[in-house]
Amino acid sequence: MSSNHGGDVSTRFEDALRGWGGGPPRIDAGTAARRVLARLPERTRPLSWWRMAAAAGAVALLFIGAWYGARSPSPPHVAASRLTVPPLPDNVMVFWLDSETPVYFVLSPLGSEKGDAS
Amino acid sequence: MDDPAVALVISAQGGSKEAFGTLVELHWARLVRLARSVVGELDAEDVAQESLVVAWRKLHELNVPARFPSWLSRIVFRRCLRRARQAGRLVPLETVREPAHDGDPIDRLVVWQLLGRLAPRQRAVLHLTVVEGMTDGEIAGALGITAGSVRAHRKRARNRIATLLTGGAA
């Protein structure tokens, strides 16, 4: 077989391939699009890594803040002490030296005796 | 890829099925042509539709929207390879008819039977070269292979076709 003969039949084959391979689909594009769309799931966009890292960091901060807040010493006695102070008369003032030590000052009008009970 | 088409891809990546539907219409014919040359006429449109559903699910993996056409071709080609492997389809040599000696054109059946004697990658390269007129670089991008592999596959495909048509050894 001569190479020319091989070349001729190859050329004829590629011409035939062009005709067969270039033909239109049986289903038109519009119908194909409708069929494909009917099969599509709702696509959820996957979270990017940096969004996930930011979310994890925010959650970690919340936990740390809550844990730290739970561990902080609360002065219940201060609150209780302040809450247990009865309503004071108008001439009585209270100063807190510290969280547990109130000092009462009784304001006496001029002319009262020294040493009156406070 | 022109700007309106890129905008469609970006819109589809954002979840727009309408935009994706338009992309399906734009690319449908060429995807079916490619699939036809690799898996045959019967399965081509099924494979093309399956590939488009896969493409929808994987759209977020496409980092460069302008490369959508070649990216889509790669998905179709990989689905074709899977279908060809599952079918285990090879046309037996004895069913390849002799071409008519009176100068008649090689008919459609012979075209497919001859293509069936090639490896799937060779079929795809020959199709994209002869039917779509693509360059080696474009074919490489469409199939996910190197330009050197494109040339090698094309040469082997043409040699084999010539051998089959001239009655040489299979």
pLDDT tens, position by position, B13-49: 999 999 999 999 999 999 999 999 999 988 999 999 9
pLDDT of B99 above 60: no
Alpha-carbon gap: A4 to the closest alpha carbon of chain B (Å): 11
pLDDT digits (tens, 9 = 90+) for B141-163: 999 999 999 999 999 999 999 99
**pLDDT at residue number B88:** 66
Identify all chain A residues contacting B111, using CB atoms and an 8 Å cutoff. 13, 16-17, 20-21
Range scoring the smallest mean pLDDT among A24-28, A43-47, B34-38, B52-56? A43-47
**pLDDT at residue number B167:** 76
Q: Please list the residues that pair with A102 across neighbouring strands.
A: A96
**pLDDT at residue number A118:** 47
Judged by CB atoms closer than 8 Å, whether chains meet at B21 and A20 is answered as no
CA distance A40 to A43: 8
Amino acid at B135: T
Range scoring the smallest mean pLDDT among B45-49, B112-116, B163-167? B163-167
Closest CA in chain A for residue B25: A29
Q: What is the mean pLDDT of residues B116-138?
A: 95
**Interchain CB contact of A22 with B (< 8 Å):** yes
**pLDDT at residue number A97:** 81
Judged by CB atoms closer than 8 Å, whether chains meet at A36 and B60 is answered as no
In 3D space, the residue among B69, B52, B43 whose CA is nearest the CA of residue A41 turns out to be B52
Judged by CB atoms closer than 8 Å, whether chains meet at A33 and B32 is answered as no
pLDDT digits (tens, 9 = 90+) for A40-82: 987 555 556 777 788 888 888 888 888 877 776 655 554 445 5
CA distance B34 to B77: 8
Judged by CB atoms closer than 8 Å, whether chains meet at B49 and A32 is answered as yes
Identify all chain A residues contacting B28, using CB atoms and an 8 Å cutoff. 25, 29, 32-33
Mean pLDDT of chain A: 76
Mean pLDDT of chain B: 87
- The pTM score is 0.67
Q: Higher-confidence residue: B7 or A10? A: B7
In 3D space, the residue among B49, B71, B50 whose CA is nearest the CA of residue B143 turns out to be B71
Environment class of residue B73 by beta-carbon count within 10 Å: exposed (0-12), middle (13-18) or buried (19+)?
buried
In 3D space, the residue among B36, B31, B38, B80 whose CA is nearest the CA of residue B52 turns out to be B31
Judged by CB atoms closer than 8 Å, whether chains meet at B20 and A37 is answered as yes
Identify all chain B residues contacting A45, using CB atoms and an 8 Å cutoff. 15, 60
**Interchain CB contact of B110 with A (< 8 Å):** yes
Judged by CB atoms closer than 8 Å, whether chains meet at A10 and B57 is answered as no
Q: What is the mean pLDDT of residues A25-42?
A: 93
pLDDT of A31 above 70: yes
Q: What is the mean pLDDT of residues B63-88?
A: 91
Identify all chain B residues contacting A30, using CB atoms and an 8 Å cutoff. 25
Residues B124 and B77 sit within 8 Å (Cβ to Cβ): yes
The ipTM value here is 0.81
**pLDDT at residue number A91:** 85
pLDDT of B95 above 50: no
**Interaxial angle between packed helices B68-87 and B17-39, expressed in degrees from 0 to 180 and rounded to the nearest 10:** 50
User: What stretches of chain A show up as alpha helix (H) in DSSP?
Assistant: 3-21, 29-38, 49-71, 76-84
Reading the block at residue A16, the tokens are 């035939």
**pLDDT at residue number A74:** 57
Q: Please list the residues that pair with B140 across neighbouring strands.
A: none
CA quadruple B134, B135, B141, B143: dihedral sign: positive
